[in-house]
Structure 1
Amino acid sequence: MPQFNKADLERRMAGAVESLKGDLSGLRTGRATVSLLDPVTVEVYGAHMPINQVATVSVPEPRLISVQVWDKANVGPTDKAIRSAGLGLNPIVDGTTLRLPIPDLTEERRKELAKLASKYAEAARIAVRNVRRDGNDQLKADEKKGEISEDERKRREAEVQKLTDSTIAEIDQASSAKEKEILGK
């Protein structure tokens, strides 16, 4: 039975794209988004929990994030977690609500974020190419074992290349959209 599994390659390539989209959504663009706080974990009840499990995060205005903490005892730890997350946000505590004004991005910071976005995209492209290499290596091994013919290997390698090309195009599209958003173009 051949070891080559195209569905597994598709799943792994899609995983690289999803990982990239997650990384890109964490980049601040000067606009408030709920996903900006996704990487924040709050230490409460003796455990680290995602912020969305201790509070309701909303965006009432384009430049403001509102965090409604459910338990009054968790306001301090939530405030501390947001400040120490490295997002450059300083919460204003108002009872059980934390208001996070989103400051304007400087031109220099925009360029840094755009570079970071392209770095994330390149890492995703490398991951996709590694998946392609694994698939092609498996096809060569299957051919060597006599499980598939040379023509079959070449046909499947072309399928793998087509899958790689479409995945990399998706990565490029996501990356360029994020860079435009960051640079405000």
Structure 2
Amino acid sequence: MAINAVLATLETKMEQSIASFASNLTKVRTGRANPSLLDTVHVDYYGSMLPISQVANLSLLDARTIGIQPWEKGMGAKIEKAIRDSDLGLNPSSMGDLIRVPMPAMSEERRRELTKVVRNEGESAKVAIRNVRRDANDAVKKLVKDKLASEDEQKRSEADIQKITDRFIAEVDRLVAAKEQDIMAV
């Protein structure tokens, strides 16, 4: 495996870490309604536990309300129960075939708690990125040890690896700052 392959693998793994982090951030609730908040809620559908998005249409009715339109008549009560039982703190209400899920206003204290959660997620993402950097550096050292690369190439590639790492850590910081701003916006 050449140094170029190590760098390509490094970028791919770091991009996966960023994607995973961004996915985790969508689960942190802000004051605004977002259908992706319900991605973690599963409902019993004929013995199978399925995400709500697979048994109903999710839409935004307004900035603070999610609308859920079940595809089958009997699913409304099950969907409501699944949302109430989830740890999201949401209270859905039925209006005929449509289920409305209003987002409760968040207190200042709760907003501060959520920013701490976001920062911790950010730190975890940075640790994952640094672990990928360490693995890449180890792979380059192994190439030098096996005489498949020179020490000059090792120094150059370590500098490249650090530049890539810095770029991805800056991306994590940017995502954290954007999410914190989103949470603190009233």
TM bucket normalised to smaller: over 0.9
Give the root-mean-square deviation of aligned CA atoms: 1.4
- Give the superposition deviation at 1:141: 0.7
| Matching residue of 1:57 | 58
| Matching residue of 1:155 | 156
| Matching residue of 1:18 | 19
Percent identity between matched residues is: 45
- Give the superposition deviation at 1:74: 1.6
| Matching residue of 1:41 | 42
Task: Report the Cα distance in structure 2 between the residues aligned to 1:107 and 1:114, rounded to whole angstroms.
Answer: 11
How does the TM-score come out when normalised to structure 2? Answer: 0.95
| Matching residue of 1:27 | 28
| Matching residue of 1:69 | 70
| Structure 1 residues not aligned, in runs of 5+ | none
Contact kept in structure 2, 1:90 and 1:100, CA below 8 Å: yes
Matched, 1:98 2:94: no
Task: Report the Cα distance in structure 2 between the residues aligned to 1:177 and 1:184, rounded to whole angstroms.
Answer: 11
Report the number of matched residues: 185
- Give the superposition deviation at 1:9: 1.3
Contact kept in structure 1, 2:6 and 2:140, CA below 8 Å: no
Contact kept in structure 2, 1:70 and 1:96, CA below 8 Å: no
How does the TM-score come out when normalised to structure 1? Answer: 0.95
- Give the superposition deviation at 1:18: 0.8
Deviation sequence 1:32-55 (CA, Å, 0-9, x none): 112111221222121111111101
Task: Report the Cα distance in structure 2 between the residues aligned to 1:60 and 1:50, rounded to whole angstroms.
Answer: 20
Deviation sequence 1:99-149 (CA, Å, 0-9, x none): 011111001110111000001100000000000000000100110110000
Task: Report the Cα distance in structure 2 between the residues aligned to 1:152 and 1:133, rounded to whole angstroms.
Answer: 17
Matches within 5 A, 1:133-148: 133-148=134-149
Question: Which moved further from structure 2: 3-12 or 158-167?
Answer: 3-12
